[in-house]
């Protein structure tokens, strides 16, 4: 395994992800418990993360000195490189010009084990820099192997001790070959086989959950989505009926989804499940609400209240389980350095733990969406369930601009189901990140048979994306949208016109509200 020592970078988990992608198990430990983690894991390699501090300051975080004497290969990234330089007898200074941020070109100057099969001496490569300080004098044994305009020691190596330092960030996608550099470190330098799998993640997590929970009781709020379901199934596998699930059914799910969750949990997995039909409560509270943020706030708050009530009825739970993913954990990764503003407040089950005075069980905290799906498959969840497109916590409420009513939810559910059915039949479902219909608060005139109609307009949306942060409209093959449009207008009462949304993100967002 590889131990990743965290010095507080916002992208430390990305390092873990890259190592896992190389088929090598890794764990992240905060710098102040790195010694203990090293003892326990006996890792074959160590990666020192970046971080916001400056090693030039006396009280900035350090790595346990004995890690450098353990005979284990080390890769220091950004702050990690500066730290290694400082702790091994080099020197770091604050950049006079304020540092280097963003894209930079790296010139390869010498051979290095991390370049094997990848980079040749004399070649140039794009990398992502983000640092204020820089190494000014190398420790004994190190030589520069690559340089950039702003950093003569952009990459350094001590091949004898197998210590490497990079000033740039190989873990982010803006360094196109970064994942391969990390894979070279993990496999080639540390000699790890690269055969680690999700099956092992499952085993490790199950052991962790058992240790954390002991004989305590856990409750888990199901949203109907993939994340909370995977978390619940994993926890159930670990502790059996010490887990109780509460499914707050807000009536804002897609067609057939609520039933699917219930039959999956009660039927296939035999997991204790309390199904709360809270549709009337949610519809009542949404009456007259048209502002998108007000809808989100109401839904988030009500979800919590309903869940709390149920938890009280069940009583005696010591732990709250959540399907929190890594992207929910990163506060606001802003590579551009600009302030990040709230575009939409994403309400899920968040905010529960503080109010409920319970300890958290969050077995998916280190995972990204596609890894959660893989884990779900590993746990035997059906493909049509784990492969589902992302669906927002507030559900259909934010796909009905204007007032949300049960009647409008039902219209949207029908139209959405037709759209998704056609997409699945055309074999396009997996090529699309998210596809859905939006029921607009606009009516248009139409003609049906001999009669005049005056009904709602529906917008169809389908986007491709890798992480939901940016997105492009999906180009359907010719005839597809016409077919869907005809079916919807013929089969769904209340809709007489269908449009397609071509906006990319930015400047649009994926959802309409």
Which residues are marked as active site? Answer: 78, 169, 171
Size of the site for ligand XMP (CB under 6 A): 16
Which residues 416-475 are close enough to bind ligand XMP by CB under 6 A? 434, 468
Q: Smallest distance, Å, CB 10 to ligand XMP?
A: 19
* DSSP state letter for 340: P
Which of 40, 124, 346, 355 touches ligand XMP by CB under 6 A? 346
CA distance 4 to 10: 14
Please indicate if the annotation marks 117 as binding a ligand: no
Binding mask 376-395 for ligand XMP (x = CB under 6 A): --------------x-xxx-
Q: Smallest distance, Å, CB 438 to ligand XMP?
A: 11
Residues 346 and 398: beta-carbon distance below 8 Å: no
Contacts of 156 (CB under 8 A, 6+ apart): 81, 85, 135, 138, 142, 143, 144, 145, 164, 165
Q: Smallest distance, Å, CB 391 to ligand XMP?
A: 7
Please indicate if the annotation marks 495 as binding a ligand: no
Which stretches of 287-440 are DSSP H helices?
292-314, 326-329, 352-356, 369-378, 383-386, 406-425
Looking at 22-30, 95-103, 112-120, 345-353, which segment touches ligand XMP (CB under 6 A)?
345-353
By beta-carbon proximity to ligand XMP, the closer residue of 375 and 398 is: 398
Please indicate if the annotation marks 9 as binding a ligand: no
Q: Smallest distance, Å, CB 394 to ligand XMP?
A: 5
By beta-carbon proximity to ligand XMP, the closer residue of 187 and 505 is: 505
Q: Smallest distance, Å, CB 258 to ligand XMP?
A: 17
Q: Smallest distance, Å, CB 344 to ligand XMP?
A: 5
- Is residue 86 close enough to count as binding ligand XMP by CB under 6 A? no
By beta-carbon proximity to ligand XMP, the closer residue of 144 and 392 is: 392
Please indicate if the annotation marks 195 as binding a ligand: no
By beta-carbon proximity to ligand XMP, the closer residue of 169 and 347 is: 347
In sequence order, what are the beta bridge partners of 122? none
Residues 8 and 52: beta-carbon distance below 8 Å: yes
By beta-carbon proximity to ligand XMP, the closer residue of 188 and 373 is: 373
Q: Which of 276, 197, 257, 266 is nearest to 233 (CA)?
A: 266
Q: What's the number of CA atoms in the CB half-sphere (13 Å) around residue 292?
A: 14
- Is residue 324 close enough to count as binding ligand XMP by CB under 6 A? no
A 10 A CB-CB count for 137 gives 12
In sequence order, what are the beta bridge partners of 276? 248
Q: What is the dihedral of CA 100, 102, 104, 106, to 10 degrees?
A: 80
- Is residue 296 close enough to count as binding ligand XMP by CB under 6 A? yes
Residues 186 and 15: beta-carbon distance below 8 Å: no
Edge to edge, what strands does the sheet with 74-77 contain?
A: 26-30, 2-6, 45-48, 74-77, 163-166, 155-158, 143-148, 100-108, 124-131
Please indicate if the annotation marks 199 as binding a ligand: no
Phi-psi region at 381: left, alpha or beta (left = phi > 0; alpha = psi -120 to 50): beta
CA distance 10 to 13: 8
CA distance 268 to 234: 14
Binding mask 96-135 for ligand XMP (x = CB under 6 A): ----------------------------------------
By beta-carbon proximity to ligand XMP, the closer residue of 124 and 346 is: 346
Please indicate if the annotation marks 225 as binding a ligand: yes
User: What Cα–Cα distance (Å) separates residue 286 from each residue in 22, 250, 282?
Assistant: 47, 11, 6
Phi, psi at 510, each rounded to 5°: -70, -55
Which of 86, 348, 456, 496 touches ligand XMP by CB under 6 A? 348
Please indicate if the annotation marks 228 as binding a ligand: yes
Which of 174, 202, 443, 505 touches ligand XMP by CB under 6 A? 505
Binding mask 392-411 for ligand XMP (x = CB under 6 A): xxx-----------------
By beta-carbon proximity to ligand XMP, the closer residue of 223 and 260 is: 223
Instruction: List residues forming the annotated binding site.
Output: 223-229
Instruction: List residues forming the annotated binding site for ATP.
Output: 223-229
Residues of this chain that interact with ligand XMP (CB under 6 A) are: 296, 343-344, 346-348, 390, 392-394, 434, 468, 505, 509-511
């Amino acid at each position: 395994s590889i131990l990743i020592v965290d010095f507080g970078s916002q992208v430390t988990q990305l390092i873990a992800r890259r190592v896992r992608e190389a088929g090598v198990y890794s764990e992240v430990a905060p710098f102040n418990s790195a010694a203990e983690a090293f003892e326990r894991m006996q890792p074959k390699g160590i990666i020192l993360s970046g971080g916001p501090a400056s090693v030039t300051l006396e009280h900035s975080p350090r790595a346990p000195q004995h890690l450098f004497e353990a005979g284990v290969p080390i890769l220091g990234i950004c702050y990690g490189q500066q730290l290694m330089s400082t702790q091994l007898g080099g020197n770091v200074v604050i950049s006079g010009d304020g540092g280097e941020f963003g894209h930079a070109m790296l010139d390869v100057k010498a051979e290095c084990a991390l370049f094997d099969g990848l980079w040749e001496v004399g070649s140039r490569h794009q990398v992502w820099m983000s640092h204020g300080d820089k190494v000014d004098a190398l420790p004994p044994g190190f030589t520069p192997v690559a340089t950039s305009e702003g950093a003569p020691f952009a990459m350094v190596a001590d091949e004898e001790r197998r210590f490497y330092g990079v000033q740039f960030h190989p873990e982010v996608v803006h360094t196109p070959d970064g994942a391969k550099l990390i894979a070279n470190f993990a496999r080639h330098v540390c000699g790890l086989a690269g055969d680690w799998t999700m099956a092992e993640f499952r085993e490790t997590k199950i052991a962790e959950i058992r240790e954390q929970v002991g004989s305590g009781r856990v409750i888990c709020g199901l949203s109907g989505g993939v994340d909370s379901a995977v978390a619940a199934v994993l926890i159930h596998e670990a502790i059996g009926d010490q887990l109780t699930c509460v499914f707050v059914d807000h009536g804002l799910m897609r067609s057939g989804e609520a039933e699917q969750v219930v039959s999956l949990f009660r039927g296939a997995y035999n997991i204790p499940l309390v199904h709360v039909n809270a549709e009337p409560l949610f519809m009542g509270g949404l009456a007259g609400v048209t502002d998108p943020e007000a809808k989100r706030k109401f839904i988030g708050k009500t979800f919590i209240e309903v869940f709390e009530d149920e938890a009280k009825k069940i009583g005696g739970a010591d732990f709250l389980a959540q399907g929190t993913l890594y992207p929910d954990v990163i506060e606001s990764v802003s590579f551009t350095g600009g302030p990040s503003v709230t575009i939409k407040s994403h309400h899920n089950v968040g905010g529960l733990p503080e109010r409920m005075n319970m300890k958290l069980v969050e077995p998916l905290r280190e995972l990204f969406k596609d890894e959660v799906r893989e884990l779900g498959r590993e746990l035997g969840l059906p493909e049509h369930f784990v492969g589902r497109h992302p669906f927002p916590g507030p559900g259909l409420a934010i796909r009905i601009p204007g007032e949300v009513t049960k009647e409008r939810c039902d219209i949207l559910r029908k139209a959405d189901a037709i759209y998704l059915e056609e997409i699945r039949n055309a074999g396009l479902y997996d090529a699309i990140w998210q596809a859905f219909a939006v029921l607009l608060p606009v009516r248009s005139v139409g003609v049906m048979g001999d009669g005049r109609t005056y009904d709602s307009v529906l917008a169809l949306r389908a986007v491709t994306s890798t992480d939901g942060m940016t997105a492009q409209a999906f180009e359907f093959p010719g005839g597809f949208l016409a077919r869907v449009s005809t079916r919807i207008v013929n089969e769904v009462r209340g809709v007489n016109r269908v449009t397609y949304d071509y906006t990319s993100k930015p400047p649009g967002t994926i959802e309409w509200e």
